[in-house]
A and B are shown apart, each in its own frame.
Chain A
């Protein structure tokens, strides 16, 4: 069996305040499920891996879902290393969640390399009629100020969910140097593991 390890890996992080809907977006995208009753805040980090083919080429997409709650914060400088894309999520029905986005942008920008695909997502679009507290224009303007792309989406209705991930992946694979520069061993780094010609044994498959 050809190992997934051989595929170029795209690392994408989901960040943003607690309750913004990060986990819901991810579950909708990966499992096509949505639980309106879910009240479980993410603790620590979850991650999902998806194999996908973009423009005829296969990739391993690793999606890291992080805790938004301050007391469960597990982000560290090293967490951002090697990230190709960051999806920043806020809730369009919560002004408070939108107001924290500057801080999330700051953190993402400070810790990632230039050229990383940033994507701002206003989630819970299904609440647009009844409970919108952040206009689409405001979201757009914030994204533009940070050179990020923007869209509004709903994990509940599926609206734009797939587009968010597809666009991020597409931007990553289209940005020259972003992927090739990180998936191959950086110059000067050395292999200490088995599948890299070092010691140890075994294949995880």
Chain B
């Protein structure tokens, strides 16, 4: 084959995070010459999944300013003293940016139409819980399951009748919120907090408001009425789409990382050349072409370059990942008979439900997803907890406290042990894609605990940018067929 530098690449894609990988998938049947590189030695960029060993190496690299990774900082690993039971490093797959995917998400329909879904196993995301702090000094904190269907609300024994009625009324409203009549009702509240709307229009009390806000998974808990209704609508209409009792799915073996890898593989099958551990040092324009000087010393020519924007460095979120030595019974129960066994549950710690040792109350919610060993992210008998909150001076302590409080609320004897903890902060990426001549910069990843369809649009823009005028349908392919021979018989 020609050497890398002799080829004029139609596009060089830099980075193998979800967006770049989906771009590779979308171009995999285009016949274009594609060079896909990543400065990291692993696939997935900010969406990667790591074994324990890889996670520790990643933490070390982040600590070294010369190899520091854009987008992440303040990472540390702790193996709590005296804990035992951690399995071998490869038995774990820690997702750096775990996200639930709503059943209605465009990501799923694109994976289906592009046939890439066949290589991904999807698991059901089950219950959503709200954390209630201990009511008194000698009492334990608890978790309340959020009823999210009308039948659910009917059966709930903790919500007073009046609350049930207003909640039902609200859910019915959400289902129809885009109608003209409904829009008229919420429009005046569109940009004010959803809690205002709940309070004023539906007379929903503070406790039930926390349930509804929890379902939106809003990072700062201050979601507007307009955004909140859209998310709740997505949640309700996702319910039951792929089976009973769940509204979202999670890809086995590390979430989004798995999708990124499968998408890159589709790119490779389509003939794209892959090189890990290779970034772009500098580049210059030469007429219609770009000259890219790669970190491995080679120089390549390309018509287009697609990469991710620099992170804007604003404080984003704090994350804590904890491996615990318990199956966390009760977290992964199917909600209705005949429903698949969920592998993931969601726990929201509302604003104000946690405090630091100095008595400072949490300003933002903490969101946690609990993953069972069915996710393939930890061995049988253990679970992985992923906690997220807005990064503040206290966020690390608050995440630790949330973890402790959750384990306390599990009410297991002995209390589940934490075997491994990974803490890090992730900064915000640029909000929008930008174009600079032949260079297309994808925006940064979304930090939401829930996959945001908005990240898909810039990928399609980049696709158009590379292909120019096209009449092919985006991400719509038939199954690839290798050569299917006549039957061979072996007896």
| Residues of A near any B CB (own CB < 8 A) | 4, 30-31, 40-41, 43-56, 58, 62-63, 71-74, 76-79, 81-82, 110, 166, 169-170, 185-194, 198-200, 204
Contacts and interface: CB of A to CB of B under 8 A. Distances in A.
Given A31-B483, A79-B265, 5 more contacts: A190-B243, A193-B112, A198-B241, A204-B478, A204-B479
A54 B123 CA distance: 32
Contacts of A188: 123-124, 340-343, 374
A48 B487 contact: no
Given A72-B273, A188-B341, A50 B479 contact: no
23 contacts: A44-B268, A44-B270, A44-B273, A47-B269, A49-B482, A50-B485, A51-B485, A51-B487, A54-B491, A58-B487, A77-B43, A79-B265, A187-B341, A188-B123, A188-B343, A190-B242, A190-B249, A191-B242, A192-B111, A193-B112, A199-B112, A200-B113, A204-B115
A74 B265 CA distance: 7
Interface in B237-280: 241-243, 246, 249, 252-253, 257-258, 261-262, 264-265, 267-276, 278
Given A191-B243, A193-B118, A200-B112, A76 B264 contact: yes
Interface of B: 1, 4, 42-43, 49, 90, 93, 103, 108-109, 111-113, 115, 117-119, 121-124, 241-243, 246, 249, 252-253, 257-258, 261-262, 264-265, 267-276, 278, 296, 340-343, 374, 478-491
B336 to A, nearest CB: 14
Contacts of A44: 267-274
A79 to B, nearest CB: 6
A77 B264 CA distance: 12
A30 B483 contact: yes
A108 B212 CA distance: 46
A76 B243 CA distance: 31
A190 B488 contact: no
Contacts of A46: 269
A194 B261 CA distance: 22
A188 B251 CA distance: 11
A45 B272 CA distance: 9
A58 B489 CA distance: 9
Given A45-B265, A200-B112, A53 B490 contact: yes
B484 A50 contact: yes
Shortest beta-carbon contacts, A-B, top 4: A44-B268, A78-B261, A49-B482, A48-B482
B242 A198 contact: yes
A169 B268 CA distance: 25
